């Protein structure tokens, strides 16, 4: 790989930016130097104009001097009077000469700063200025101290005029020539700056074009290819092959994009294979599920038929037994207590058959409730009578607190069956506790029944699961609550109530163990 291709894009961009910066600085420097030189030359030209103006002032003052001195001579004034009349004009002339000397000194300094070869010219001007001063000084001295002969004085004045005028013209012409040279130099400098500006502009345009077409535009093309590749990947087309010919930043990005596309393509292949395998599994499991559902439907149909047959086969003899017991009690044969016991047991067995049929219908998704106004206290009494024998056989004591009237609107048979199921769960799992308590719940908005045992309790993490269908609690016998609690919650919540389990109980309630299941229904006062 060539060295050119190893150059970082950052370095190339920085180099191009540096080149543009150098060009800009060069242009600014050239313009600054050119404008500075133009400004200095303009100041020199203006100084020359000022000196020309002073020479003009000096010429005016000399003319005034000639007029006054001529008038004084023609008037025949003596030397003292002539001196007094000439004194203001001479003073102004001397002041102008002083200013011209200072101007020439400054001009020499400006010429040295500009590097112009005009020092000899200013030296000649200084010499001419000195001659003019000497000439005016001699003339003034002759007028103030000379004889009073008018011809002699006029001759002196004429000699001054004829000698001073060429010197003044020479000085003015020298300043005009210098000024013109300065202006010509400014024009040449302006033309040079113009040509330099054109050259710099052309070079700047060429540099910008070279920077754009040689560096920026190719990168735009590479970025466009990268954008197209990103869109291609976004449309799930991973057949991306960006050229990896350069190892700059965009080249590295090309390489990473190619690797990303390859990884995504491989992942998509794996996902497709997994999806195909999953579809096969789903089809297989679906077929198995259909077979199982068909078998389950057949089993459920057989079960319902079995329950219907059992109900029919049991209800007929039970009806006969109930009728015979009732007839026996009416005949008064002396066995009334026996017939009453037979009637009670037959009625209880008939109720068990009803319970069995209700459970069977609920498991098939049918929950037929018959809510009627009922007193939970009566249901509590029926429950106690129904489970008393089972509790006694298990060696447990069934305790029931005094129960006030607990009016609700509910299905009495279902509620009795729910509470009986809760007591049987306690008998099955809390036998070691020895006690099962039926506690009425009497609250302003709700009433209910709580079943409390003193058994080992239920782990708090398992409570929510126990109310799910086909979930079983962990017990030493391997038995569980199973569908009982799920059905109980279904029945209670269908009637607008709630069922809650608390375990373990507080230490002052069950010694730190035990379980409490509370069933609440909305209070319906008559």
- The tens digit of pLDDT for each residue in 17-45 reads 787 788 788 878 877 887 877 777 777 77
What's residue 117's pLDDT? 54
What's residue 282's pLDDT? 92
What's residue 119's pLDDT? 58
What's residue 446's pLDDT? 92
pLDDT in tens, 80-91: 787 788 888 888
Contact 145, 88 (CB under 8 A): no
What's residue 450's pLDDT? 92
pLDDT in tens, 340-383: 777 777 776 776 677 666 666 655 555 667 889 999 999 998 88
Q: Which of 197, 228, 208, 492 is nearest to 369 (CA)?
A: 492
Contact 55, 168 (CB under 8 A): yes
Position with higher pLDDT, 181 vs 396: 396
What's residue 133's pLDDT? 83
Average pLDDT value for residue range 487-495? 88
Is residue 122 predicted with pLDDT exceeding 70?
no
What's residue 65's pLDDT? 83
What's residue 61's pLDDT? 84
What's residue 374's pLDDT? 92
- 158-162, 317-321, 513-517 — most confident range: 513-517
Q: Transcribe 26-59 into DSSP letters.
A: HHHHHHHHHHHHHHHHHHHHHHHHHHHHHHHHHH
Contact 433, 514 (CB under 8 A): yes
- 57-61, 241-245, 299-303 — most confident range: 57-61
Is residue 309 predicted with pLDDT exceeding 90?
no
pLDDT in tens, 236-259: 787 877 887 777 777 788 888 888
C-alpha 243: how far from chain center: 34
8 DSSP 8-state letter: -
What's residue 432's pLDDT? 84
Tell the residue number behind the tokens 């030209």, with chain if given: 45
Q: Which of 449, 438, 345, 348 is nearest to 397 (CA)?
A: 438
444 DSSP 8-state letter: S
Position with higher pLDDT, 318 vs 370: 370
Name 441's bridge partners. Answer: 448
What's residue 187's pLDDT? 84
Position with higher pLDDT, 262 vs 119: 262
What's residue 233's pLDDT? 81
pLDDT in tens, 155-168: 888 888 888 888 88
Contact 244, 255 (CB under 8 A): yes
Helices and strands, counts by H and E, the chain = 13, 7
C-alpha 272: how far from chain center: 35
Contact 163, 1 (CB under 8 A): no
What's residue 115's pLDDT? 54
Half-sphere exposure of 142 (CA within 13 A, CB side): 20
Calpha distance 141→156 (Å, rounded): 11
Cβ atoms within 10 Å, residue 482: 15
What's residue 366's pLDDT? 57
Q: What is the mean pLDDT of the chain?
A: 79
What's residue 358's pLDDT? 63
Q: Which of 446, 458, 429 is nearest to 499 (CA)?
A: 446
pTM assigned to the model = 0.41
pLDDT in tens, 383-442: 888 888 889 998 999 998 888 888 999 988 888 889 998 999 889 888 888 899 999 999
Position with higher pLDDT, 100 vs 4: 100
Position with higher pLDDT, 501 vs 328: 501
Contact 371, 410 (CB under 8 A): yes
What's residue 475's pLDDT? 45
Contact 311, 357 (CB under 8 A): yes
What's residue 355's pLDDT? 64
Cis ω for the linkage preceding 35 (within 30 of 0): no
Average pLDDT value for residue range 477-500? 74
Per-residue pLDDT band for 333 (boundaries 50, 70, 90) equals low
Is residue 510 predicted with pLDDT exceeding 90?
no
What's residue 369's pLDDT? 78
390, two tokens: 């089972």
Is residue 3 predicted with pLDDT exceeding 50?
no
Is residue 99 predicted with pLDDT exceeding 50?
yes
């Amino acid at each position: 790989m060539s060295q050119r291709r190893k150059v970082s894009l950052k370095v190339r961009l920085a180099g191009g930016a540096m080149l543009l910066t150098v060009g800009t600085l060069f242009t600014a420097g050239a313009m600054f130097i050119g404008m500075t030189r133009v400004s200095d030359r303009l100041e020199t030209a203006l100084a020359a104009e000022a000196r020309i103006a002073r020479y003009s002032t000096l010429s005016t003052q000399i003319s005034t001097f000639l007029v006054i001195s001529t008038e004084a001579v023609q008037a025949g004034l003596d030397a003292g009077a002539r001196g007094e009349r000439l004194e203001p004009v001479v003073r102004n002339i001397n002041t102008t000469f002083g200013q011209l000397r200072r101007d020439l000194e400054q001009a020499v300094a400006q010429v040295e700063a500009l590097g112009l070869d005009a020092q000899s010219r200013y030296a000649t001007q200084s010499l001419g200025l000195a001659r003019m001063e000497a000439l005016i000084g001699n003339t003034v001295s002759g007028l103030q101290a000379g004889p009073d002969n008018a011809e002699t004085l006029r001759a002196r004045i004429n000699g001054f005029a004829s000698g001073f005028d060429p010197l003044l013209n020479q000085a003015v012409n020298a300043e005009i020539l210098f000024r013109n040279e300065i202006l010509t130099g400014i024009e040449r400098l302006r033309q040079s700056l113009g040509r330099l500006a054109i050259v710099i502009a052309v070079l700047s345009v060429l540099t910008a074009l070279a920077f754009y077409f040689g560096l920026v535009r190719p990168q735009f093309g590479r970025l466009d290819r990268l954008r197209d590749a990103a869109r291609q990947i976004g449309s799930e087309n991973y057949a991306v092959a960006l050229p990896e010919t350069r190892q700059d930043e965009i080249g590295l990005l090309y390489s990473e994009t190619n690797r990303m596309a390859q990884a995504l393509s491989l992942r998509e292949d794996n996902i497709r294979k997994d999806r195909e395998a999953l579809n096969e599994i789903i089809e297989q499991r679906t077929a198995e599920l259909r077979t199982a559902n068909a078998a389950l439907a057949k089993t459920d149909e057989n079960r319902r038929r079995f329950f219907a047959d059992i109900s029919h086969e049991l209800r007929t003899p039970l009806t006969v037994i109930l009728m015979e017991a009732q007839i026996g009690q009416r005949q008064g044969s002396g066995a009334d207590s026996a017939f009453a016991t037979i009637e009670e047991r037959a009625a209880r067995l008939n109720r068990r058959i009803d319970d069995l049929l209700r459970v069977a219908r609920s498991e098939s998704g049918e929950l037929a409730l018959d809510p009627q106004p009922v007193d939970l206290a009566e249901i509590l009494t029926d429950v106690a009578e129904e489970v008393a024998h089972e509790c006694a056989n298990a060696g447990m004591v069934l305790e029931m607190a005094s129960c006030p009237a607990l009016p609700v609107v509910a299905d009495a048979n279902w509620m009795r069956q729910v509470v009986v199921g809760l007591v049987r769960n306690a008998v099955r799992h809390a036998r070691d506790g020895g006690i099962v308590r039926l506690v009425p719940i009497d609250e302003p908005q709700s009433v209910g029944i709580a079943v409390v045992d003193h058994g080992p309790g239920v782990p708090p993490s398992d409570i929510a699961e126990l109310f799910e269908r086909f979930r079983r609690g962990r017990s030493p016998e391997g038995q569980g609550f199973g569908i009982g609690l799920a059905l109980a919650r279904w029945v209670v919540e269908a009637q607008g109530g709630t069922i809650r389990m608390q375990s373990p109980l507080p230490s002052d309630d069950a010694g730190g163990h035990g379980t409490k299941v509370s069933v609440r229904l909305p209070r319906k006062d008559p």
